[in-house]
Structure 1
C-alpha cells in the first residue's frame, strides 16, 4: 500500500539545481533513510515530501486516510506554552481527554476533574497520559511545566520529537532525529522505532541507527535518488558496486566522446552537411561527460604543533550550579596520546568540564595545570557567529591566508577550502547560503587551521555527512595529539576512543578502559538491583587494559617542584623548534627529488641524507620534549 509518492520533483535555488524530475515513493511498513553529502538537498526534499515546502515543479501525493507526523530540523514551538501544552497540541480524542484532565488539575476544578476522569476512563487514556510522561522522560525532559521559551535549542528539538512520537502517526517523517539526544535517549528512540509497526522516512547520518532501524536507504547524489532495499551495511556494499559500474560507464563515454569530437572537428563546419542525429547524440554525450565528477576527498593533512610530555593535570576539580553537583574532586592526568570519550546524560556537566579544561569557565575549587606546549583546538556545539553576508573565503582568510601541512608544504586558503570540499563557486558564496552541514565543516576547518595538538570536540558529528565523518575519523585515528570527544554517534566514538569518562551524577566520574560499546556491555551485565558507585567494572578482555575506577574520589599525587630552565636552555629550546622545522622541510625536498628519479649515485646519496635527517630529527625531538616539560 502506497503512503507517499512524488513524481518529477524539481527544486533549485537561483542557478543551483538541487534535483530535477525526481520520482520517489514510500509504501506501508517501509523504514527509509535519505543519505547524501552536505548541501545535496536532503532536508529540502524531506520538507517537500512532508508538505512544508512547495517544489518548483512536480507532484507530491499522500494517502488521504493516514496520519503524518513531521519533525523539522529546527522545529518551531509556541513560546507561550509549557512543555506539556506543546506535547498535547496534537489532534485526537485521547489527547483532548488528557488536555482536559491536565487543565482541571492545574485549575483545581473538582467538577471539571470528575468529568475529565470519566472521559479518560471511557477513552482508555490513562495509559496514554502515562506514555506521554514516559516518552518525555526517556528523551531527557523531566519538567513538563517548564515554559518553552526557557528551553535550549536541543531541548526544543527533543520536545518536538516527543510530540511527534506521542501522536503515533501512520507515517513518521524525521529530519536528523538523533541530533541533541544523549546516547541513552538515542538507544530508546532506536528501540521505539524498531518495535513500532509504523512507516518511517528520515534523514540521518548516525550509522548504527541507520543499520539497526532502516530497511531501505535512498542516496542523494548529483540531483538523483538511488534506492537500495536493505539496511545501511547492504547500502554500502551495493553503492560500491554502483560506483564501480558508473566509473566503467564513464570511461566508455569518454572514449566515445573523444571519437565523436574528432569526427565533429573533421567534418565541414556547416551543420547542415552533417548527420543531425549524430550531432544531437554528440551534444547529449558532451553534457553527460561534462556533468560527471568524482566525489571530492576531504584532506585533513594539516600540521600539528609539537606536544611535550607534560600535557594537562586536573587536581580535585569541583563544580556545582546551585544545588546540582556536576563534579566532585575530579582528578586525572592526561598523557600522550590520550583518546577519551566523555559520556553521560544531558545536563550531567560534559560541556561544563570541557569549558573548564580550556579555561572558558572557572571551577569552584581545584587546579588545572596545562603544559607549556599544549595548544587546544575546541570544536563547540555553538554555531559559527559570523555575519551572514560574509563570504566563505573571507572567513578563512581572516584566520590565516597561508597554512602549513604536515610535510612542511604551504597551502593557501583557497586550496585548503578546496580540500575541505568547498569548490571555487562555494568559496565565494555568502555564509547565509551554506547548509547546516557545510557551516559545521567550515567550523571544523577554522579549528584545525590553528594547528592544535589537543583536540576537544563537542558533538563534532552533528550535521556532518557520512563521507566527511569517515575522513574525519581517519584524521583523528592518525592524530598524534590528545583527543577528548563528546558525541552521540556511537560508531564514531567506538572507532576513536580508548577509554571513557562516564559522568554518573552527583559529581562522580567513572574512567572505563574501553570504548562506548564495551562500557554498555559491562553496565548491562551488572545486577539490576544497582551497583555501588565504588564498584570497579572489569575491562573487556579484548582491551587488555587496567581496571577502571571512579576517578572523582581518587587522590592525585601532588605535582613535584617544577625545575626552572636556565637562559641557555630556553634559547636551546627555541632553537630546536626552528631546527626541527628546517630539517622536516629539507626531508620533504629530498623525498621529492628521490621520487623524480635520477642516477644511481644520486638516489643513493639522497636516501642516505634522508636517514641522517630522520636520525637528527629524532635526537632533537627527544631533547625538545625533555626541555618542554619545564616550559
Structure 2
C-alpha cells in the first residue's frame, strides 16, 4: 500500500451554532488524486483550509504526513519578486507576461499564481478552483502538467472535464458529511445514479408495503365495527345464560381485532414517509407575443472593429447570429470575448439589432439580499410567469418547497447566487447574454443552468471556458482568432 499522506479522524468544526463539517474518517495516500465536490456553502474550501492547517477543528485530528502547497481560490495578488523562483518555461507556455508591473487580466493572474505554486514542488498539493478565468488552452496545459505530478493532489473544482481528466477518487461534501467514491467525476455520477435507482426501488417497496398494511388496517377496523354493532344489538335482547359465554367470546375477539389494527398502524409509522427521487423535468417557459421575433438574424455585425486600449481585438469582422440558437463565443484569454458581448449589449458601431430584441444578462451576486419577503414572493414580483413555472425553476436549482418560503435576508452566498440565476430566467427577454456564467457556481447549479438554456425559447449568447458546459449547450460555436470571428461548429443558416 502507498504511504499515508493525510488522515482525518473524528473531526468536527462549527461556526457559532452552525455545524460545518463532521468527518469520522478520511485518508489520502501518496500519488492519490482526489476531487472534492458539493454545493456551494457545504464546506469544500473549509475542508482544504483544515488540511492546510490554516484553521483548527473544534475537536479531532487532521494529520498531514507531508507538506502541502495550497493554491487558494481567492488570494491577494502579489507581483513577481526577486525571491520568486519561477519556472521560466512554464511561464512562457502558460502565457504569463514577463512584465508583471502592468495590470494583468483575471486569467493572467491565475496563470501567474499557478506557475508560482507549481515551481515550488511539495509532496502534497491542494487546489481550490484552479481553472477559474483560464481559457481552454491553459486548462489543457494545466491538465498535462498535473498528469505528471508526483504526490498527493486534492482539488476542489466545478470543472467536470478537469476532474474527469485528473482525479481517481471523489470526496462528496454534503450536509457536513464526507462520502468517498472511487473513480473520476463521470464514475461518481454513475454511482450516484445507481444509488438513486436502488433508493427508489426501496421506496417503491416500502410504499407497496404501506399500502398493503393500510388496506389491512381498514379491513380490521370494519371487522371490529361490525362486531361492535352485533354486540350492541345482542345487549338489547334477552340473552339466555348458555349464550352469555358466546357474547363474551365475541367481545374478546373484537378487542383482539382492534389490537391487531393498532399493531398494523404502529408498523406503518415505523416504515416512515417515503419519497421517490425523480429526474428534473425540463422547464416549459411560456412565450409572450410581445417578445416574439421573426427576424432570422436578430443580431448582426457589419465591419466591426474592437479595441481595448492600444490592442486591436477584432478587425472589420462580419457576423450574423441566428434566431433561437445557443451561441458560444470562444477564444484565448484576452482575445476579446467579453468585450464583444459588452459591445453588442451597448449597440456599438456596426451592430445591427432587431427592434424587438430584449436583453437579459446574468450578474454574479456575491452579497446577501436584505429584503424580508420570501424567495418565492420576490421572484413572482419579477415576472409574469405563473407560479408553477417559478416553483419549477426553483426546484431545478435545488430549493425545496420549504426553502422557497425563507426570507431573502437569510440566504447564504451560494443560495443568493442561485436566486440570481432564477431572476435571469423569470424576467421577460428574448436574448440572454451570459459572460462566464459557470464561474463560482457549483456543479449542480451548472447542470441546472444547462437545462434552463436548452429549454429557453429565445437566443442565447455566452462565453465559457467550461468544455462540458459549452458542448452540452451550444449548437453554434464561434471563435475569436487572429482578430477574426470564425464559425467552428454549427450551420450558419437553419
| TM class, shorter-length | 0.7 to 0.9
Per the TM alignment, residue 400 of structure 1 is displaced from its structure 2 partner at its CA by 4.7
For residue 416 of structure 1, report the CA deviation from its aligned partner.
Answer: 5.4
Instruction: Give the Cα–Cα distance (whole angstroms) in 2 for the partners of residues 291 and 429 of structure 1.
Output: 28
* Structure 1 CA distance for aligned equivalents of residues 141 and 323 of structure 2: 35
Tell me if structure 2 keeps the 8 A contact 1:455–1:484: yes
Q: 1:378 aligns with which of 353, 361, 380?
A: 361
- Cross-structure match for 2:488: 512
Distance in 1 of aligned mates of 2:439 and 2:308: 27
Query: Are the equivalent residues in 2 in contact too, given 1:377–1:447 (CA < 8 A)?
Result: yes
Measured after TM superposition, the shift of residue 229 of structure 1 is: 1.9
Give the deviation of 1:246 after TM superposition: 3.5
Give the C-alpha shift of residue 387 in structure 1.
5.7
Residue in structure 2 matched with residue 569 of structure 1 by the alignment: none
Aligned counterparts of 2:320 and 2:424: Cα–Cα separation in 1: 24
Aligned to 1:368: 351
Match of 1:434 in 2: 412
Flag the 1:410–1:439 CA change in 2: closer, same or farther, 3 A. Answer: closer
Equivalent residue for 1:302? 285
Unaligned 5+ runs, structure 2? 218-265
Give the corresponding residue for 2:45.
43
Deviation larger for 367-376 or 176-185: 367-376
Q: TM-score normalized by structure 2?
A: 0.76
TM-fit CA distance, 1:410: 3.9
Residue 399 of structure 1, CA deviation: 6.5
State the partner residue of 1:344. Answer: 331
Higher relative contact order (CA 8 A, sep 6+): 2
Q: 1:57 corresponds to which residue?
A: 59
Structure 2 CA distance for partners of 1:194 and 1:431, relative to 1, 3 Å: farther
**Pair 485,392 (structure 1): closer, same or farther in 2 beyond 3 Å:** farther
Describe the shift of the 1:165–1:296 C-alpha distance in structure 2 as closer, same or farther (beyond 3 A): farther
2:436 paired with 1:455: no
Distance in 1 of aligned mates of 2:53 and 2:373: 32
Q: Which has the larger radius of gyration?
A: 2
1:407-441 residue CA offsets vs partner (Å, 9 max, x unmatched): xx4449677545532344476365685244x3432
1:84 aligns with 2:64: no
Shift of 1:242: 2.4
Counterpart residue number, 1:487? 464
What is the distance in 2 between the residues matched to 1:161 and 1:429? 40
Confirm or deny: 8 A CA contact 2:23 2:178 kept in the other structure: no
Once the two structures are superposed, what CA deviation does each residue of 1:59-99 show, in whole Å capped at 9, x if it has no partner?
A: 21101xx221112221234xxx5x212xxxxxxxxxxxx63
| Alpha-carbon distance, 1:237 to partner | 2.0
Distance 1:172 1:392 in 2: 44
**Are residue 145 (structure 1) and residue 100 (structure 2) matched?**
yes
Alignment partners' CA distance in 2, 1:229 and 1:492? 24
Match runs of 1:536-547 below 5 Å? none
- Distance in structure 2 (CA, Å) of the matches to 1:486 and 1:330: 18
Distance 1:480 1:257, change over 3 A: closer
Q: CA deviation at 1:226?
A: 2.2
- Deviation of residue 165 (structure 1)? 1.6
Secondary structure at the residue paired with 1:346?
coil
| Contact 1:403 1:411 (C-alpha < 8 Å) held by counterparts | no
* Residue in 2 that maps onto 1:24: 26
Q: Is contact 2:438–2:446 with CA below 8 Å preserved after alignment?
A: yes
> Would you say the 8 A contact 2:322–2:492 is kept in 1?
no
* Cα offsets for 1:212-254 (capped at 9, x unmatched): 1111112223433221222222222222222333344556678
**Residue 592 of structure 1 corresponds to which residue in structure 2?**
none
Deviates more, 1:420-429 or 1:175-184: 420-429
Alignment length (residue pairs): 438
Q: Over the residues paired in the alignment, what is the CA RMSD in angstroms?
A: 3.7
Deviation of the 1:309 alpha carbon: 1.9
Q: Could you tell me how far apart the structure 1 residues matched to 2:275 and 2:20 are?
A: 15
CA 1:427–1:191 in 2, change beyond 3 Å: closer, same or farther? Answer: farther
The aligned residue for residue 241 of structure 1 is 194
**DSSP 3-state at the match of 1:84:** coil
Alignment of 1:318-337 (within 5 A): 318-337=305-324
Instruction: Answer yes or no: is 1:134 the counterpart of 2:89.
Output: yes
- Alpha carbons 2:382, 2:427 under 8 Å: kept: no
Contact 2:326-2:473 at 8 Å conserved across structures: yes
Task: Please say if residues 380 and 387 of structure 2, whose CA atoms lie closer than 8 Å, have aligned partners that are also in contact.
Answer: no
Please report the TM-score for the alignment, with normalisation by the length of structure 1: 0.61
Q: Per the alignment, in what secondary structure is the counterpart of residue 403 of structure 1?
A: coil
Q: Note the C-alpha offset of 1:135.
A: 3.0
